[in-house]
Amino acid sequence: MKLPFLKTKKARPVEKFFDTEVTTAKDIIAPASVRVAPEYLDLQGRFARSFFVFSYPRYLTAAWLGPAINLDVPMDISMFVHPVNTNTILRQLQRKVTEVQSEIMEKEDKGMVRDPELQTGFQDLEALRDKLQTAQERMFKFGLYLTVYGETQEELRQIETALRSIFESRLLYIKPALYQQKEGFNSCVPYGKDFLQVHTSMNTEPLSSTFPFVSFDLSSNEGILYGINLHNNSLILFDRFSLENANEVVFAKSGSGKSYFVKVQILRYLMTGVDVIVLDPENEYKNLTNAVGGSFFDISLGSENHINPFDLPEPREDEKPEDVLRSNVINLVGLMRIMLGGLNPEEDAIMDRALTETYAAKDITITSDPAMWRQNIPLMEDLEGVLETMEGAESLVTRLRKFTKGTYANFFNNRTNIDMQNPFVAFGIRDMEEGLRPMAMYIIMRYIWNKVRSELKKRILVVDEAWWIMQSDDGASFLYGIAKRARKYYLGVTTITQDVGDFLKSEYGRPIITNSSIQILMKQSPATIDVVKKSFNLTAEEKSLLLETEVGEGVFFAGQKHVAIKVVASPTEHQIVTTSPKEILEKEQGETT
């Protein structure tokens, strides 16, 4: 039976809401294009080149890979370790030993001179056989590959030159993976697959030296004990004067042990014959001064200790008197800016001329005899007298008068009556009015710097609570100048502060850090830890350590090395340097009873 024809309605196609595929993580991460060349990969305008290490020396020292890892270039490093069956290796070694021994005996029968290379090879083979047989060692096939990145091909060549220099200085040799750049690149990405298959046979001992994560050891034959290395419990014995400069910065929040650490360091350096000078805003070093028989000068408006801002250093044999006088005038202008609340350009020029004329009125000029300068040093009132004769200086005279005849005159308008011959000298300014502290610190530092320049001697200058002097640009500039030039005068500057943020806000704060070979970071507050992490290029682990560390612990940087440190002191040292109010009170109560 024939079915009647039925006209059916065609099914309408389903509408597509999205004509394109969904974007995935691969689309975001992957470059738009990859071009494979014989010597490099072009990743969308960024170049990559892969290398393999093909030759190793007879001996490998620990952390030999460290200089390459620390190279300041983007780099991927892959290590492939393939275990080899010990029985197979023993059979191969037995055959090789037989061949070498046979060759040695053949040369002896012919009366030939002993070949040291063959003898050494025979001894190494026998030693390795013994260790493999007793399971003290195992054999592996080891592949080491590196991929470096650069913006241009020229940059890649420069990186290759640096890598070759690092490796060849240790008798290791690398080659670019020619016509295998794709395989080399894939071997260095986290696939875990060895596409290059360039291997070197290694036993366990040299293989262990390739481990890239090594805790640095800071022990030397000279110097002092800084503390305990928390990575491996070794001693951190170090001499700050052995580095390119002896400067040091100590950053930590209040109560973390920074002053304790510096005091212990001072005691130990004093025992090695190093002079120490301390600028102490809170009179914390007074007990230490008394304990070591040092000189403590209490600097305040009512104190009997005075420093004349106009003092001049004695020119050394390699210095010109005119340079010394000119530098002193420039520094005094900076002091006047702090004292008088700033100077406009016209006042700045007037002050510069007035200071020069003040010295000239006392017969201190570039042509006079420097030996006679000390007898004629002017005072602040002499500067006031010169300014009174100068046109346009009325405002300067008015502002200066409180330092010559007003309440501040006792400190600013007197001749110097202190002596710095003692190996340990501390200047305490706790009782100085808060508004005058930056000026007092500037004057004291100028006086110290003049003494340092006049006599070459191994010294340490400690500037505690350095943020006080960093409040003004002139004070910060002067501290930076001392830190930058200290090395020439055998001086190490220790800068201590708890206000890391305020310190780094100054344009001179960061240069002071970069001009300090030793950096100590102790416990930090969460508010400033990100600034510290960025400034010191800390790892995530170091950042966590500085947030959770105990009192007296932190991170110790010396050049490129850095370790976690714990400060330790003997019982006698602890009694001298402790600043714990509880312990000080108990000690005082014990003495009274």
pLDDT (tens digit per residue) in 353-381: 999 999 888 888 888 877 778 788 899 99
Q: Let me know if residue 248 belongs to a domain.
A: yes
Give the Cα separation of 447 and 489 in Å (integer).
15
Exposure string over 533-572, b if 16+ CB within 10 A, otherwise e: bebbebeeebbebbeebebbbbbbbbeeebbbbbbebeee
**Which residue did the predictor score with more confidence, 500 or 466?**
466
Per-residue pLDDT averaged across 204-221, rounded?
Answer: 73
Asked whether residue 331 falls in the same domain as residue 199, the answer is: no
Q: Let me know if residue 480 belongs to a domain.
A: yes
Q: Let me know if residue 142 belongs to a domain.
A: yes
- pLDDT higher than 60, residue 28: yes
Asked whether residue 381 falls in the same domain as residue 512, the answer is: no
Asked whether residue 562 falls in the same domain as residue 457, the answer is: yes
Pick the last residue of a domain from 361, 384, 415: 415
Which residues constitute the domain of residue 341? 312-415
Token pair 């800016």 in the structure block, residue: 337
- What confidence score (pLDDT) does residue 130 get? 81
Asked whether residue 489 falls in the same domain as residue 590, the answer is: yes
Give the Cα separation of 184 and 176 in Å (integer).
9
Pick the last residue of a domain from 181, 208, 235: 208
Pick the last residue of a domain from 383, 415, 447: 415
Asked whether residue 350 falls in the same domain as residue 405, the answer is: yes
Q: Let me know if residue 532 belongs to a domain.
A: yes
The amino acid occupying position 235 is: L
Q: Let me know if residue 355 belongs to a domain.
A: yes
Asked whether residue 57 falls in the same domain as residue 189, the answer is: yes
The tally of domains found in the chain comes to: 3
Q: What is the CATH number of the domain that holds 393?
A: 1.10.8
Asked whether residue 272 falls in the same domain as residue 322, the answer is: no
- What H or E segment, with its residue span, contains residue 176? strand 173-176
Asked whether residue 488 falls in the same domain as residue 519, the answer is: yes
Which pair of structure tokens corresponds to residue 229? 């290395």
- What confidence score (pLDDT) does residue 114 get? 77
Tell me the pLDDT band of 593, cut-offs 50, 70 and 90. Answer: low
**Which residue did the predictor score with more confidence, 321 or 186?**
186
Tell me the pLDDT band of 63, cut-offs 50, 70 and 90. Answer: confident
Q: Let me know if residue 383 belongs to a domain.
A: yes
Token pair 């005091």 in the structure block, residue: 263
Asked whether residue 323 falls in the same domain as residue 379, the answer is: yes
Q: pLDDT tens-digit profile of 99-125?
A: 888 888 887 777 787 778 777 877 878
Token pair 């301390």 in the structure block, residue: 278
- What confidence score (pLDDT) does residue 242 get? 86
- What confidence score (pLDDT) does residue 312 get? 85
Give the Cα separation of 110 and 92 in Å (integer).
28
> Percentage of residues in the chain with pLDDT exceeding 70?
93
Q: Let me know if residue 57 belongs to a domain.
A: yes
Which pair of structure tokens corresponds to residue 590? 């014990």
Q: What is the CATH number of the domain that holds 565?
A: 3.40.50.300
Q: Let me know if residue 235 belongs to a domain.
A: no
End-to-end CA gap in the chain? 130
Asked whether residue 273 falls in the same domain as residue 326, the answer is: no
Asked whether residue 573 falls in the same domain as residue 441, the answer is: yes
The amino acid occupying position 437 is: R
When the pLDDT of each residue in the chain is averaged and rounded to a whole number, the result is: 85
What is the Cα 392 distance to its own chain's centre?
A: 48
Token pair 């052995």 in the structure block, residue: 242
Asked whether residue 426 falls in the same domain as residue 411, the answer is: no
